[in-house]
């Protein structure tokens, strides 16, 4: 089960997002806007809020329930796959929590020391983040932000049935993680966003000196104090970095000829579509994805080699073209000959050769090219 600290870090990473009804904080695109504009449940909102389109394109977009879904569904690589089994709105999530015996109560009894609880009112939900504040995607005007509790009339609070609250509310990482798995996840994330990260030990689930050094390198790259801590803000910055690697637009990527020359174009397209690469993705990432699909295909080729291959290909194409032309001309000649033979065959059918004189005389005359037929000498 997901820890409350991990859940909160992912929730808070959405700060500054844009409110789009019925969405769960994938990056806003023209295609997503069009899809939601015709969807039965959301088309009315999209028709009445045209200005939100420009605000949301290229940014994470979602509604109040989308905050919770994103925090539960987002993957280490920043992708947000849909999960129909846990797709619940504010009423459905509350009903499930009550049915599972999760702690809940009226808002007046909210335990102010329990971060990560869900706050509910009619048609809306947000997450309690402590210090008398909630966090959520409130509306098109306020967007995704933190708000004082007294700015909304809340009715109930409850524990999210998908979240483990036993970990408390401390920092997610402090020179280490609560579990080895989360250390490894952090290390893998460092290796994805920082070139050459953790060259000695890699993702070994041990938050040692190398991991601390690279953690500080990451924090420096995003403008945070280099204190070796991986707190919620640091983790949120990492999620934003990973999210920037998710592709929502089609891009052209220059991949070495040797990598793709024997790979069907459709395979390459499918790979790129599958990982959804965007213009921010380094070319090396695309190359690596393709290498995974086409095992051990050699990479790299000099410009001279590439030019030679292209010239060779063009030469073969030209030669093939000439051969095809010659074959076509031969075919036409054969057809012409066949036509002429047909004419001569028809003529011969009408020729009645007369034998003149003796056999030897006839043979002699034929040998001299003289034939006598019913039309006269020829």
Mean of pLDDT values over 156-182: 65
- Of the given ranges (140-144, 210-214, 250-254, 300-304), which has the lowest mean pLDDT? 250-254
- Angle, alpha carbons 119-76-73 (nearest 5°): 35
Nearest to 63 by CA among 151, 154, 124: 124
Cα Rg of the chain, angstroms: 38
- The DSSP bridge pattern shows strands 173-174 and 163-164 to be unpaired
Query: Dihedral of the CA atoms 151, 136, 176, 229 (nearest 10)?
Result: -60
Per-residue pLDDT, 93: 96
SS (H, E, C) the chain: CEEHHHHHHHHHCCCCCEECCCCEEEEECHHHHHHHHHCCCCHHHHHHCCHHHHHHECCEEECHHHHHHHHHHCCCCCCCCCCHHHCCCHHHHHHHHHHCCCCEEEHHHCCCCCCCCEEEECCEEEEEEECCEEEEECCCCCCEEEEEHHHCCCCEEECCCCEECCCCCCCCEECCCCCHHHHHHHHHHHHHHCCCCCCCCCCCCCCCHHHHHHHHHHHHHCCCCCCCEECHHHHHHHHHHHHCCCCCCCCCCCCCHHHHCCCCHHHHHHHHHHHCCCCCCCHHHHHHHHHHHCCCCCCCCCHHHHHHHHHHHHHHHHHHHHHHHHHHHHHHHHHHHHHHHHHHHHHHHCCCECCCCCHHHHHHHHHCCCCEECCEEC
Mean pLDDT to the nearest integer, 77-86: 91
**Lowest mean per-residue pLDDT among 15-24, 298-307, 355-364:** 355-364
Question: Which carries the bigger pLDDT value, residue 72 or residue 376?
Answer: 72
Average the pLDDT over 139-150 and give the result: 93
Per-domain residue ranges of the chain: 2-164, 173-230, 303-366
pLDDT at 139 over 60: yes
Residue 200: the pLDDT is: 87
CATH of domain 2-164: 3.90.1720.10
Q: Is the pLDDT of residue 284 over 70?
A: no
- Average pLDDT of the chain to the nearest whole number: 76
- Is residue 370 very low, low, confident or very high in pLDDT (cuts 50, 70, 90)? very low
Q: Is the C-alpha dihedral spanning 310, 312, 313, 315 positive or negative?
A: positive
Q: What is the band of 154 on the pLDDT scale with cuts at 50, 70, 90? A: very high
116, exposed or middle or buried, with CB in 10 Å at 0-12, 13-18, 19+?
buried
Please, which pLDDT band fits residue 1 given cuts at 50, 70 and 90?
confident
Residue 99 pLDDT exceeds 80: yes
CA–CA separation, 99 and 105 (whole Å): 13
Most confident of 171-180, 293-302, 327-336: 327-336
- Contact between 14 and 25 under an 8 Å Cβ cutoff? The reply is yes
Whether pLDDT at 367 is above 70:
no
Span 190-199, pLDDT tens digits: 999 999 999 9
What are the beta bridge partners of residue 92?
none
pLDDT 10s digits, 336-346: 666 655 555 55
What is the C-alpha separation between 194 and 218, in angstroms, rounded?
Answer: 7
Does residue 259 carry a pLDDT above 90? Answer: no
Q: How far apart are CA 323 and CA 329, in angstroms?
A: 10
pLDDT of 334 > 80? The answer is no
Look at 23 and 327; give whichever has higher pLDDT: 23
Which of 1-5, 82-86, 256-260 shows the lowest mean pLDDT across its residues?
A: 256-260
**315 Cβ neighbours under 8 A, 6+ residues apart:** none
For 101-121, what is the mean pLDDT?
91
Q: Can you give the pLDDT at residue 333?
A: 61
Q: Is it the case that residue 372 has pLDDT exceeding 90? A: no
Looking at residue 360, its pLDDT comes to: 42
Q: Does 297 have pLDDT greater than 50? A: no
**Confidence band of 240 (pLDDT split at 50, 70, 90):** confident
The b-or-e profile of 335-360 (16+ CB within 10 A means b, else e) is eeeeeeeeeeeeeeeeeeeeeeeeee
Q: pLDDT-based confidence at 325, cuts 50/70/90?
A: low
Q: Are 94 and 156 in contact (CB under 8 A)?
A: yes
């Amino acid at each position: 089960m997901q820890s409350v600290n991990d859940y909160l870090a992912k929730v808070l990473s959405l700060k500054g997002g844009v409110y789009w009804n019925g969405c769960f904080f994938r990056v806003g695109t023209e295609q997503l806007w069009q899809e939601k504009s015709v969807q039965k449940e959301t088309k009315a909102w999209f028709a009445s809020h045209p200005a939100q389109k420009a605000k949301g394109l290229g940014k994470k977009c979602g509604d109040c329930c989308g905050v919770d879904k994103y925090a539960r569904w987002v993957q280490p690589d920043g992708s947000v796959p849909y999960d129909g089994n846990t797709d619940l709105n504010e009423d459905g999530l509350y009903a499930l929590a009550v049915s599972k015996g999760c702690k809940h109560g009226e808002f007046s009894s909210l335990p102010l020391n329990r971060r990560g609880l869900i706050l509910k009112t009619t048609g809306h939900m947000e997450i309690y983040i402590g210090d008398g504040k909630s966090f959520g995607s409130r509306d098109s005007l306020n967007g995704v932000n933190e708000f004082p509790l007294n700015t909304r009339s809340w009715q109930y609070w409850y524990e999210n049935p998908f979240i483990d609250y036993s970990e408390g509310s401390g920092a997610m990482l402090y020179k280490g993680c609560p579990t080895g798995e989360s250390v490894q996840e952090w290390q893998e994330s460092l290796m994805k966003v920082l070139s050459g990260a953790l060259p000695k030990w890699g993702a070994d689930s041990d938050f040692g000196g190398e991991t601390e050094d690279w953690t500080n390198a990451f924090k420096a790259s995003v403008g945070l104090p280099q204190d070796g801590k991986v707190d919620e803000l640091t983790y949120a910055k990492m999620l934003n970095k990973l999210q920037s690697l998710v592709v929502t637009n089609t891009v052209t990527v220059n991949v070495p000829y040797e990598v793709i020359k024997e790979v069907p174009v459709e395979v390459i397209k499918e790979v790129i579509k599958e990982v959804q690469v965007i213009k921010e993705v380094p070319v090396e990432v695309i190359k690596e994805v393709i290498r995974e699909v086409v095992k051990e295909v050699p990479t790299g080729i000099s410009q001279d080699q590439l030019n030679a291959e292209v010239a060779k290909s063009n030469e073969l194409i030209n030669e093939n073209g000439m051969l095809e032309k010659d074959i076509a001309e031969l075919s036409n000649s054969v057809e012409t000959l066949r036509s002429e033979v047909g004419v001569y065959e028809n003529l011969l059918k009408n020729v009645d050769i007369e034998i003149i004189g003796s056999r030897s005389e006839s043979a002699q005359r034929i040998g001299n090219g003289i034939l006598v037929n019913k039309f006269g000498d020829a």
